Structure formats: structure tokens, C-alpha cells
């Protein structure tokens, strides 16, 4: 790929442009907000100029626009003869593809795409050229998608460092409703409970509520468009979730009234069953390098909030010849310390605890 145009210079579009430019692709940038395009260009994502000035169609046009605008943007781009191949990067696939076909567009030149990566921040200033490294990138070719168009999309995925996954559009939409869209709504609803929480409750908020509500910081306008485009599939997931939630509420009410009687015993059994199902579902999420979910040993270490402390901890783990598989950081409210939990191979945890303790680190049991 030598040339490309990115239509839409928000977080995803600019990140795509940065990745392509890094590999020497000449990227043209367009956005209905000229300031956004100029900002993306200032970051090194490409040039703010019309592909028509190039004198011939570019190799690929990337439509980085919301789902409701994909078909219209595709039609306008094809009228201009911008590219030899077209793809999009929105998070819903069936609707835009059906709309493009209904408008009579040349769908042989188009393939749907969805990089499953993002940030809570939006706009070109939040973009990163490595945003897609190692992340799945779904492609949804239709029966009439040309082979060269499919290959061009695969090249895009490769240049962005992502992992291609081929899916049917409707299957994709059901999947993202389950693993992305419904979780965002649940996170937002949980975070909304904190809006009028007492200062005391907010002050002692720990890592659990931070994990659950992290994605609730997403842009409401963008998420309204995503949820509207995939409303039916998201509603199906939430309907099942609502049934589970109602059952849990019933169990908790029974436990509140009769914690040790027959109804309490039944409620306890029901509650434990739901929690075990949660364990089973969480275990199905792929672990490191896409391998099955692994159980790690945990080493919680108290660390000062100062430059170089985390590097010093990593150096100590390296000296102990222990590989850190993952980590979590929890900040202590009102104090200049935090808790770093190192996830390591179970057999390595006792030795690491001993060596860190010898080096003066405070390791919690």
C-alpha cells in the first residue's frame, strides 16, 4: 500500500493514519471539522489535502465515521472516485452494509472492518500509532467483495499491527453487543449510582469500583450513535442480564428477611450459583497471547508515589528472575502510596515475596 485517505480524524481515524504513515504510506486526511484534520496532520498522521489532487485513486479509503454515516460517506467517496478499495472502522457492521446495498453502491469495492481497540478519550489528540498493536480487527466481507479489496484490508490490518478476524456482519454485531456495547451501558449505570453518593463513599472507592466503571468515561454522543446502530442486539443482552439481576435481587431480599432459615438457604444456593457462573464466564476470556485464561500467583507490594519506584520494583523482580505476567495499581486515598499487585506464575510467588521482603519492600500477605 502506497497511498490512502482517512475520512474522519477522530481517535480511531487518526490512529490508523499514524500507523500507516509510520510505514511510509502517503495518507490524505479529511474531516468535516478542518481543525481536527489539521491537528491530526500536526501529529504526523498525513497531509490535509484532497486525494483528487493526487491525480489517481488512492489504494485504500478508510471511513472513520459513526455507523449511521458510513453508507452516505461511502457513496460520496465512490462518486468522487477516491479509492480502489474502501473499508470502515465503525463498531457495527450489519446496518451500514445493508444501507450501502439499499443505496445501490458498489459493494464489491467495500469491506466492513472493526478494530477492537480504543480509549476513554476521543479526538485526534488522543490518537496513538500503536493503538491497534496485537488487538483483534474484525473484517466482514460479503459474498461479492472482490479478492483484491479483501487483500487490501488485510494489508491495512497488518500495517496497524492488529490480528485479523473474519466474521459475518450479523454475528459480529451480536458478539460486540455482548462483549462491548452492553458492558459499556452496565458500567455507565453503575457509575451513575456514584453521582449523588456521599463524599465518604466516594473517598473510599477502591479498585473494584474503578475497574467496573472505567469505561463509563466514554463520550456519550459517540456511544449514543453506537448503541442506536446496534440497539436490538444490545437490548437482547440486557434483557437476559435483567433476568439475572432480578433473580439476584430476590435472593438478597430473602437473605435480608431470613438469613438462616429455609428461604435463606435457598437464596444462598441461588446466589452462589450466579457467582460461580460468573467465575466460569470470566475464565473464558482469553489470557496472555490469546491462550486460555491462566491462574496467577499474586504479590501485593506497597509502593511510594514517586518517580522511579515502579522501575525499581520491576528491577527487583527481574533480579529475582521472575516474569511479571500482569499487574494492577491501586492508589491509596489521601496518601502518597499505592498498592501494586504483581501477577506471576504461581510457583514463583513465594520466592518473589521472600526476595522483595529482603530488599526492603513491604509485601502484604
Note the pLDDT tens digit of each residue in 233-287: 999 999 999 999 999 999 999 999 988 888 888 899 999 999 999 999 988 887 6
The pLDDT assigned to 286 comes to 79
Q: Residue count of the chain, please give it.
A: 365
pLDDT digits (tens, 9 = 90+) for 132-154: 999 999 999 999 999 999 999 99
Outline which parts of the chain fall under CATH 1.10.3660.10. 175-288
Contact indicator for 35, 13 with CB cutoff of 8 Å: no
pLDDT digits (tens, 9 = 90+) for 91-120: 999 999 999 999 999 999 999 999 998 776
pLDDT digits (tens, 9 = 90+) for 155-194: 999 999 999 999 999 999 999 999 999 999 999 999 999 9
Q: Using alpha carbons, select from 147, 144, 139 the residue that is nearest to residue 100.
A: 144
The pLDDT assigned to 122 comes to 81
pLDDT at 205 over 90: no
Q: What is the mean pLDDT of residues 32-47?
A: 96
Q: What is the mean pLDDT of residues 341-354?
A: 92
Pick the CATH number of 3-167 from 3.30.300.20, 3.20.20.70, 3.40.50.150, 3.40.50.720: 3.40.50.720
CATH 2.70.98.10 fits 175-288, yes or no: no
Outline which parts of the chain fall under CATH 3.30.70.260. 297-363
User: What CA–CA distances, in Å, run from 24 to 49, 150, 159?
Assistant: 17, 21, 10
Residues 6+ apart with CB under 8 A from 42: none
Outline which parts of the chain fall under CATH 3.40.50.720. 3-167
The DSSP string of 324-353 is --EEEEEEPTTSSEEEEEEEE-GGGHHHHH
Dump strand ranges (E) for the chain: 3-7, 26-30, 60-63, 86-88, 110-115, 136-140, 163-166, 297-304, 326-331, 337-344, 362-363
pLDDT at 210 over 90: no
CATH 3.30.70.260 fits 297-363, yes or no: yes
Provide the percentage of residues in the chain whose pLDDT is more than 70: 96
Amino acid at each position: 500500500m502506497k497511498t490512502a485517505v482517512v475520512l474522519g480524524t477522530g481517535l480511531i481515524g487518526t490512529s490508523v493514519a499514524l500507523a500507516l504513515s509510520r510505514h511510509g504510506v502517503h495518507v490524505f486526511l479529511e474531516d468535516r471539522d478542518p481543525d481536527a484534520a489539521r491537528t491530526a496532520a500536526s501529529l504526523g498522521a498525513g497531509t490535509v489535502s484532497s486525494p483528487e489532487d493526487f491525480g489517481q485513486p488512492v489504494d485504500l479509503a478508510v471511513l472513520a465515521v459513526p455507523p449511521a454515516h458510513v453508507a452516505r460517506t461511502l457513496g460520496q467517496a465512490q462518486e468522487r472516485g477516491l479509492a480502489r478499495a474502501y473499508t470502515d472502522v465503525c463498531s457495527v457492521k450489519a446496518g451500514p452494509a445493508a444501507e450501502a446495498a439499499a443505496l445501490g453502491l458498489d459493494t464489491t469495492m467495500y469491506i466492513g472492518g472493526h478494530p477492537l481497540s480504543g480509549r476513554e478519550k476521543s479526538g485526534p489528540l488522543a490518537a496513538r500509532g500503536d493503538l491497534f498493536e496485537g488487538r483483534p480487527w474484525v473484517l466482514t466481507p460479503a459474498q461479492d467483495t472482490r479478492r483484491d479489496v479483501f487483500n487490501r484490508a488485510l494489508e491495512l490490518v497488518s500495517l496497524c499491527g492488529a490480528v485479523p478476524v473474519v466474521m459475518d456482519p450479523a454475528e459480529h454485531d451480536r458478539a460486540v453487543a455482548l462483549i462491548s456495547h452492553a458492558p459499556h451501558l452496565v458500567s455507565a449505570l453503575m457509575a451513575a449510582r456514584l453521582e449523588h453518593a456521599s463524599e465518604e463513599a466516594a473517598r473510599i472507592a477502591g479498585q473494584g469500583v474503578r475497574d467496573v466503571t472505567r469505561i463509563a468515561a466514554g463520550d456519550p454522543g459517540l456511544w449514543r450513535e453506537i448503541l442506536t446502530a446496534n440497539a436490538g442486539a444490545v437490548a437482547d443482552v440486557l434483557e437476559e442480564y435483567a433476568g439475572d439481576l432480578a433473580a439476584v435481587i430476590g435472593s438478597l431480599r430473602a437473605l435480608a428477611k431470613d438469613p438462616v432459615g429455609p428461604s435463606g438457604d435457598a437464596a444462598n444456593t441461588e446466589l452462589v450459583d450466579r457467582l460461580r457462573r460468573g467465575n466460569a464466564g470470566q475464565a473464558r476470556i482469553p489470557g496472555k497471547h490469546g491462550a486460555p485464561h491462566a491462574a496467577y500467583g499474586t504479590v501485593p507490594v506497597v509502593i511510594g508515589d514517586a518517580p522511579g519506584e515502579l522501575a525499581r520494583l520491576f528491577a527487583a523482580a527481574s533480579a529475582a528472575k521472575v516474569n511479571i505476567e500482569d499487574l494492577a495499581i491501586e492508589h491509596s486515598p489521601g496518601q502518597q502510596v499505592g498498592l501494586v499487585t504483581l501477577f506471576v506464575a504461581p510457583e514463583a510467588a513465594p520466592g518473589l515475596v521472600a526476595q522483595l521482603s529482603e530488599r526492603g519492600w513491604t509485601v502484604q500477605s
